[in-house]
Each structure stands twice: as structure tokens, then as C-alpha cells.
Structure 1
């Protein structure tokens, strides 16, 4: 009961904070952010796949890997884990509009207040880091 009351109060305060008008980000800034975000996610997925393919052969003959697979299979069959996954998925889908609005508001604040002062430096830093990331964490196979 106390937890529910605290959650409702916290949500009410957060709604009041987000109810005010925030600067609207430029379409160019949103497109640039979405492009950088997409490339970064591709880099992470590619790195995960490379790590997985490198580790799988080493774990094939390991007795620990067999017991770990058994534990993972048991967890997948557990009703508690299934319900947790369903709840987490539902919560993520419910929070997606809130996260998108917060992201757009943050981009608007950045574009309105900070970009005139630090935008060029941040852009050059991102462009300088791209070749290093292409070497260390490529986005494609």
C-alpha cells in the first residue's frame, strides 16, 4: 500500500515536471540523432554476435557450459520467469511513448540552449571517434 502510494506520488510529480513546454528540436537534429543511434545499436549487435560466435566453440566441450545450458532451460520453463518477461515487455511498450517524449525534450533543450555553444565541438568529436569505432566496433560484418 505504501509502495503504491509512493509510486503514484512520484508519477504525479514527474508528470508535473514534464507537462511544461519544452523547446522543439530541429528535424535535422532528430534525424542526426536517430542515425547515430541506429549505427551505435548496429555496432553493439555486431559485437555481441562476434563475441557469441567466438565463445560458443570454446564452451562446446566444457562441462560447465552443459550445466549452464540446463539451468538456462530450466529458467525459461519457469512460470515466474515467463511472467516477468511478459510484465517487462508490457512495461517497455507502455513506457516507449514516455521515453520518446523525454528524448525529444532532451534534444530540444540541447538544440535550443547548448548546441550553439558546444555543437561544433561535439560534432567534430563524433566525427573523430567514428574511424576508431569502425576499427574496434564495426557496424557491419
Structure 2
């Protein structure tokens, strides 16, 4: 039911937005966004690999890891993974257009007012993240 509501909301928003012109984001903003996104994903991958190493050293963690490995061979789970990856592939263009539109709206209407403050806040947060969850 929730998926239907989300899809309906996305279609309504897409139709209402198509009536107005959304400015395209500048290349500088897109590069800054992609840099922040890539750093964030790198932090998550690094934290996940550390978690796997920690769990692998523990006997209970090893048992859980063996259970998860046994689930990978089940056809039901493989079917769910195929459907989810197919939905992800179908939704990718829609997500890319939405991201570009949101970046354009942010740059046109919000960045002049909150851009420097947001950038400073992100830079301050990076200092703490480098200590707790480094990207390398």
C-alpha cells in the first residue's frame, strides 16, 4: 500500500513540476555533490569492512556469517534480489532526474541564503567523521 502511495506522489509531483521550468544546476555544484556523495559511500564501505573484520573474529559472529552464507543459496532470496535489482535499474533514471531537479532548485532558491552556512557545517562535520569513520 505504501509503495502505491509513494508512486502516486512521485507521479503527481512529476506532473506538477513539469508545468514549471526547473533551472539546471551548475557543473560546480554537481561536482561538489558527487564528491561529497563518493566520500560518504567510501566511509560506509570502510565502516562495513571494519565491521566484517570484527564480526569474523567472534564465534557468534562467525555463526551468523555462516547462516547468512547459507541463505544466499536459497532460490527465494535469489528471486527477491533479482526483483529488487530490476526495480533499482528501472528507477535509476527517475532518481537521477529528481536529483538533478533538486540540485537545480537548491542552487536557484536556497543556496544564496544557506549555502555558505551549510558548507561550513559540512566542513565541521567532516573533521569529526574523519576521526570516527574515516574514508580511507
TM-score interval w.r.t. the shorter chain?
0.7 to 0.9
- Structure 1 stretches of 5 or more lacking a match? none
- Structure 2 stretches of 5 or more lacking a match? none
Q: Does 1:76 align with 2:75?
A: no
Q: How does 1:31-42 map to 2 (within 5 A)?
A: 31-42=31-42
Change (3 A) 1:40 1:109: same
Give the number of the structure whose alpha-carbon radius of gyration is greater.
1
2:122 to 119, 126, 134: 126
Separation of aligned partners in 2, 1:29 and 1:79:
44
Change (3 A) 1:137 1:71: closer
Q: Does 1:116 align with 2:106?
A: no
Give the match for residue 136 of structure 1. 132
Query: Match of 2:72, SS?
Result: helix
Give runs of ≥4 in structure 1 deviating > 3 Å.
68-71
Query: Match of 2:111, SS?
Result: helix
RMSD: 2.2
Give 1:12 deviation, angstroms.
Answer: 4.5
Give 1:69 deviation, angstroms.
Answer: 4.4
Aligned residues: 131
Tell me the TM-score normalised to structure 1 length: 0.81
Tell me the TM-score normalised to structure 2 length: 0.84
Separation of aligned partners in 2, 1:14 and 1:52:
40
Give the match for residue 15 of structure 2. 16
Change (3 A) 1:89 1:18: farther
- Output one character per residue of 1:74-115: Cα deviation in whole Å (capped at 9) or x when no partner: 422222211110111111011111101101111111000000
